[in-house]
Structure 1
Amino acid sequence: MALFAKPILRMTAVLAALLPVITIAADWQTEVDQRVQNVNDKVIELRHHFHAYPELSNQEFKTAQKIAAELSALGFDEVQTGVAGTGVIGILKGSKPGPTVALRADMDALPVTEKTGLPFASTVTTEWRGTETGVMHACGHDAHMAILLGAAEVLAGIRDQIPGKIKFIFQPAEEGPGGADVMVAEGVLRDTGAIFGLHVFPAPAGMIMYKPEGFMAAADTFSVVVKGVQTHGSMPWKGVDPIAVSAQIINNLQTIVSRQIDVSKAPAVVSIGSINGGNRNNIIPEEVVMSGTIRTLDMAMRADVHERIKRTVKLTAESFGATAEATIPDGVPVTANDVELTRQMAPVLKRAAADGNAQLVKPIMGAEDFSFFANEIPALFFGLGVAADGEVDGAANHSPYFYVNDKALSHGVKAMSSLALEWLHSQQ
């Protein structure tokens, strides 16, 4: 026994030193749970309000006013408006000194005519690219804002237990153009140690989905201009048919993913979404314009795919006597979660999820400009299931039938509140 006496004493001392921290953590967890329930009705009300009055990217003026008013009513130390155009930043200072952590929600809606039939469905309309269309929170940003405002109320009520500052970022234009990247350029992450965000998906209500490293894909758009020689449709040999060339380009582009890259490392997608050329049935046109999307989860693979697209387009056209060029502007990078931060916060996500249902998932090929924040500081972005009761799936994001189950919102509020507090306490 004597051989183990000193190690046991040392272990006892270490455990004793940890006990106050454990007690404090347990105290704030219990209080967060209670406060989340107390604000639940308000969060649902806010979600319905944002859903009924959606605004497109960079036009979130009334949305921003509503958010700023809510934060001010909660007694926030600082509320900034007009950030990156229409963004809002709220600063909540705890009663104890410490670092700064950020929580983010996006604000913009989509040019989608809603078909859900909900009593608070959007009736807002706008002109989009020359066509009258509806405006809808078809990607769940209404839920993101309501959840973050719920977390703001929860945390404002326990600022005596906050060792540091919490920065609430309400970001415009996630759907583009210009959102997170503009905020980063304006210094929104200055003096911030970590950032957390979420996105709702059609999955079991209250389920939380997460993954270290690449969680959501990089998204790049590309355009292709194919130039041939115009001629009569009855005499194709007199010209060079850019429509036929475009068909071959489309086919050859599909071999990049299926035959040219190692998809065992990470998945990738190359898709053509539009093709336009010609204006009459018996005229072979001079030019065809195509556009598409590229999705990748590995930065080296991303660069490689870009080069292969440009080369395939150019050489395929040349083989037919035509010319073609692919243009790929800078897009949205991979949304990559910090490995250590994800490991540290996994128990928090499990506590927040419905019935502890927090799962490691495969990467999602959709994209999110939260990636611009994650490129700057340690970040964790996770998914929250919002499918209807008893369902494991539902209409996809961006669908006119996209549905958010209000019962899932409290799990998002608990997760966002707890992540901020857990991270701040872990830095003490």
Structure 2
Amino acid sequence: MENKLHERLGQLLKQREEQVISWRRHLHQYPELSFQEEKTPAMIAEILRGYNLDQIRTGVGGRGVVGLLKGGKPGPTVAIRADFDALPIQDQKDVPYKSRVPGVMHACGHDAHTSGLLGLAGVLAEHRDEIPGNIAFVFQHAEEENPGGAIAMVEDGALDGVDAIFGAHLWSSCPVGHVWIAPGPIMANVDDFAIEIQGRGGHGAVPQETVDSIVIGSQIVANLQTIASRNISPIDSVVVTVGTFNAGDNNNVIADSCRMTGTVRSFSPEVRDRAEQRLKEIVEGTAAMLGGTAKVEYSRGYPAVVNTPAEAEMVRTAAIAVCGEQRVEWMTPTMGGEDFSYYLEKVPGAFVFIGAGNPEVGASYPHHHPRFDIDERAMLISAEVLGRSALLYMEQQK
């Protein structure tokens, strides 16, 4: 008796490995920044057209691409998502496929996400008669830059008729061949803030005649840490980071004004609301206490990525079939952010981390590093885990 499609998926993908690697290396050499992608979505659409899909939409939510494959048997519609934007970083790797675009590189693996999903789409299109349902291949632009491409794609109908969605991120800190997954929140709410402090400048020798904006700012940095230590339950999690602090032009001049920017990360809506409230109160109160004034601009970014339990378990089952039980771990949530969250607010689904690290091939640098790279074997692992997850969802909905 012939094995079912999900049992043959790895073998079928292996036959496309050379092509998948070629696509990835091409994209790596010609990266495009968020909201500036032109050639990448055009390439994706061209490849999808070669698969004779039932529907291909371009310009979804701006620059996204969605291809729909109708299976030969009735069943639900499952979406699988990949992103394809790059970052404003100079590629410092010494490899043949190094970025040819000055100051721009794929430093987060999105080129590999897209190439792996293109390979999976080709395999599934060849065996559509065996698929009990439909599969939407969602290729998303602008994951790296708020407001991101996901929310615009959802608003433009990328998930219309979709019952569940799965997505993956290749992860260089996780060894190739390993998989991290968990139910519930796995990535954080991502909020940003900017603080403008106004004091009264003057000569550094007569501080009594001034209101020192640097002293105010320094006190604010310290006081903001009480949000985590005194305003949020120790059972919950929150991070408040001041990332920039700019003030002053001369060593003997007390700065008239100061500007700071930073980020707040959390998981629950309640903690998110409380952190924003306290940040504003602390900033304004501290400035007033020291004789100055302060204004806060607070911007909410991506919401938390929250995997639905049933779909997370499906991914775990699929990953065990691909990698073995010893290499599939329940992950600890990360304070990083991802706009895959917008899809999960619309339909059930799960986001999984696929190991792509391997020092032997130079894949040992963190994401967003100028020497970031992956073990390219991870692309087929990711594609198989996602494909098996989609097929398992369809089987369980019968």
Judging changes above 3 Å, is the alpha-carbon distance between structure 1 residues 158 and 413 closer, same or farther for their aligned structure 2 residues?
A: same
How much does 1:422 deviate?
1.2
How much does 1:360 deviate?
0.4
In 2, the alpha carbon distance for the partners of 1:206 and 1:189 equals 30
TM-score between both structures, scaled by the size of structure 1: 0.89
Asked if residue 235 in structure 1 is aligned to residue 212 in structure 2, the reply is no
In 2, the alpha carbon distance for the partners of 1:88 and 1:200 equals 21
Asked if residue 256 in structure 1 is aligned to residue 227 in structure 2, the reply is yes
In 2, the alpha carbon distance for the partners of 1:30 and 1:349 equals 12
In 1, the alpha carbon distance for the partners of 2:252 and 2:63 equals 50
**Secondary structure of 2:372's aligned partner:** coil
Amino acid at match of 1:124: V
Aligned to 1:405: 375
Aligned to 1:80: 57
Aligned to 1:189: 159
Asked if residue 137 in structure 1 is aligned to residue 112 in structure 2, the reply is no
In 1, the alpha carbon distance for the partners of 2:347 and 2:210 equals 55
Aligned to 1:28: 5
**Secondary structure of 1:308's aligned partner:** helix
Amino acid at match of 1:328: Y
Contact 1:388–1:403 under 8 Å retained in 2? no
Pairing partner for 2:175 from 196, 204, 223: 204
Amino acid at match of 2:97: F
More displaced stretch, 283-292 vs 140-149: 283-292
In 1, the alpha carbon distance for the partners of 2:131 and 2:6 equals 12
> What aligned pairs does 1:297-308 form with structure 2 within 5 A after superposition?
297-308=267-278
In 1, the alpha carbon distance for the partners of 2:313 and 2:106 equals 32
Aligned to 1:394: 364
In 2, the alpha carbon distance for the partners of 1:143 and 1:206 equals 15
Judging changes above 3 Å, is the alpha-carbon distance between structure 1 residues 189 and 223 closer, same or farther for their aligned structure 2 residues?
A: same
Judging changes above 3 Å, is the alpha-carbon distance between structure 1 residues 116 and 305 closer, same or farther for their aligned structure 2 residues?
A: same
Pairing partner for 2:242 from 264, 268, 272: 272
Contact 2:283–2:296 under 8 Å retained in 1? yes
How much does 1:355 deviate?
7.2
Superposed CA offset, 1:327-380 (max 9, x none): 211211100100122123321121123676111010011110100111111010
Contact 2:31–2:104 under 8 Å retained in 1? yes
In 2, the alpha carbon distance for the partners of 1:354 and 1:137 equals 30
In 2, the alpha carbon distance for the partners of 1:356 and 1:103 equals 25
> What aligned pairs does 1:18-417 form with structure 2 within 5 A after superposition?
26-125=3-102, 134-177=103-146, 178-202=148-172, 203-265=174-236, 267-353=237-323, 357-388=327-358, 394-417=364-387
- Gapped regions of structure 2 (runs ≥ 5): none
**Secondary structure of 2:160's aligned partner:** coil
**Secondary structure of 2:193's aligned partner:** strand
Superposed CA offset, 1:87-135 (max 9, x none): 111111111222211000111000001112111010202xxxxxxxx10
- Gapped regions of structure 1 (runs ≥ 5): 1-22, 126-133
Superposed CA offset, 1:209-267 (max 9, x none): 111101111111111111111222222211211111000000111122133322323x3
Structure 1 consecutive aligned stretches of length 4 or more whose deviation exceeds 4 Å: 389-393
Q: Give aligned-pair identity as a percent.
A: 39
